[in-house]
Amino acid sequence: MNPQVPVPKDIDIARSIQGKEISTLCQQIGLDEKNYDLYGKYKAKLHHKATGVEKREKRGSYVVVTGVTPTSMGEGKSTTTIGLVQALTAHLKRNSFACIRQPSQGPTFGLKGGAAGGGYSQVWPMDEFNMHLTGDIHAVTAANNLIAAAIDARMFHESTQNDQDLFRRLVDKPGSKGVPSFNDAQKRRLAKLGIPTNLQPNELNDEQKRLFARLDIDPDTITLCRVIDTNDRFLRRITVGQAPTEKNHTRVTKFAISVVSELMAVLALASDFSDVCRRVERMVIGFSKGKDGKASQPITCDDLCVAGAACALIKDAVTPTIVQTLEGTPVLVHCGPFANIAHGNSSIIADKVAMDLVGEDGFVVTEAGFASDVGFEKFMDIKCRYSNMMPDCAVLVTTVRALKVHGRDLLNDPQASDDIAIEKGLINMNAHLKNITQNFNVPVVVALNKFTGDTQAELEYVKRRAIEGGATDCQVANNWALGGEGAVDLAQSVVKTCNNFKTSGKKAKFLYEAKGVSILTKIETITSKVYGASEVSIPEHVRDKIKMLEDQGFGDLPVCIAKTHLSISHDPKLKGAPSRYTFPIVSVNVSAGAGFVYALAGEVSTMPGLPTRPAFFDITINPDNGQIEGLF
């Protein structure tokens, strides 16, 4: 690679690089050809059995990249992640993998643009990475919408048929020649109802048939909605069932963006294909109507008999896609949950495969969405809890530019001098340093992502203040302009920090214990220790819902709070490191398949909208060579 000055556009840099054929890269990292399928010359999909590569007693180092509270211009977290592995492998000759999320088409065509990194630290090929890649998000969309269709269809058929006809049709399998039978999912429902599973359909009494056939879903409790991988604000509230054929069975619902589907979180938090199937089976889509003195009960995908078909649709999405950086180092791309409205991390499967491949002296670098109060907290308390892998180092990405923005916002003075703005902006950086080091006991290296307008005095000042704020080290990263060469100092600090932490006997820790601790206590712990709130506001009906979830056995799950990413608090207007305020929780639900309780703070939309001038204005295809143009 031969970096140019000035740095060209991202897509022009990507087009100037001739990457390795992916089969060559797979051979170099120790993957046998039986463990992957080629998707063209430069992408490959791991097989389900690829997690059976050599398991090592001693694992390599695990590094998570996070950042300060993001500004509208971005701080270069993905760029730093890619630059770090380029430096580790291409320059320091250490085995390393970047494990990152697949970008959603929503931001790609909306305001943010792609997520391949930038400059001379990019995922390659960046156009394919930012578009469909190997189709995982489309598979999630199809499976999710199949479940959504199954929900409405089941409610329709239950409302238009008597008990006997409904039961008869449910157990009359096509091709069975009129001999009714229970399939495996239906037998699990029998067991759930306490009905002997060795009975044949004609051996059930009328009450057993009624209990089996009627899920009696309360439409007001349905939590799973249809999804699409596009920013479309006009789908935030819709009415379904308006055709005459639906016999006035209308329902108000919505669309969400595909990457917030619970199925995406299931893929990201599962350990293997069998685990995916079990998690999909137990996904709660809503609750039954409580009547006759009986409490409402959770209704699962397994109750709908749709889990198996959903798993069939996401079969090829269970394993990561292998691509490369501009310098030919390996990247595993898998899953894409948003961090503000989901748990915001790439998959456990990808991290474990990478850890098996890098060896004892290698490095797995993964990126958590947004800042340490959002993606990193969920990385620790949700992802690491299920993976049983804890990080040896965190990289906190910041920029002089971001500190100035945070400082001026906090001062409410856009004309504040650079020195004063940086000083005030450090309040935000120090809050994230404190969160990572004190709440989770993870050592931090600050990556000061360099921009062309930064002065040497500003860079040196921030470096000094970062170490005073609790960082193990702070290094200027110039990999956007230089590729891996510009992140060598950062990589060396990460290597040293990981080695020191592993030999010190210290261990990273969770913020809270999940088991034996109430959901409310877990919410209060996150909001006070991470968000700086002094109290939590929870309406009575939400407290009742929390009690119901605990009574139904969901009390031991970790908590995922959906909130704004533009502040450490719930309110994007609260800048710096807010404290002594009330944090509102407006609703709670359970993502039983993913394995967490989902708490919503204020108005957080699960369907983004398009700006006045979206990124798709400039995206086109060259008819002469078939290449996509205008991506960034």
- What residues act catalytically? 77, 79, 101, 112, 339, 370, 451, 480
The closest of 267, 320, 259, 329 to 117, measured between CA atoms, is 329
**How many CA atoms lie less than 13 Å away from 327 in the CB half-sphere?**
30
Rounded distance between C-alpha atoms, residue 143 and residue 139, angstroms: 6
C-beta of residue 379 within 8 angstroms of C-beta of residue 348:
no
The secondary structure of residue 163, as a DSSP letter, is H
Question: Which amino acid, residue 437?
Answer: T
The tokens for 49 are: 């059995």
What H or E segment, with its residue span, contains residue 265? helix 262-269
CA distances to 52, 80, 121, 124, 177 from 17, rounded to whole Å, are 33, 19, 12, 9, 61
Rounded distance between C-alpha atoms, residue 604 and residue 169, angstroms: 41
Burial 270-303 (b: 16+ CB within 10 A, else e): bbbbebbbebbbbbbbbbbbeeeeeebbbbbbbb
Rounded distance between C-alpha atoms, residue 377 and residue 523, angstroms: 12
Q: By three-state DSSP, how is residue 473 classified?
A: strand
The secondary structure of residue 89, as a DSSP letter, is I
What H or E segment, with its residue span, contains residue 278? helix 273-281
Rounded distance between C-alpha atoms, residue 307 and residue 250, angstroms: 25
Rounded distance between C-alpha atoms, residue 478 and residue 77, angstroms: 13
Burial 66-95 (b: 16+ CB within 10 A, else e): bbbbbbeebbbbbbbbbbbbbbbbbbbebb
Question: Which amino acid, residue 166?
Answer: L
Rounded distance between C-alpha atoms, residue 155 and residue 282, angstroms: 19
The closest of 465, 392, 471 to 438, measured between CA atoms, is 471
Size of the chain in residues: 632
What H or E segment, with its residue span, contains residue 238? strand 238-240
Angle subtended at Cα 280 by Cα 378 and Cα 31, rounded to the nearest 5 degrees = 75
C-beta of residue 89 within 8 angstroms of C-beta of residue 95:
yes
Q: By three-state DSSP, how is residue 596 classified?
A: strand
Structure-derived torsion over alpha carbons of residues 70, 74, 76, 77, reported in degrees to the nearest 10: 30
Number of Cβ within 10 Å of residue 505's Cβ equals 6
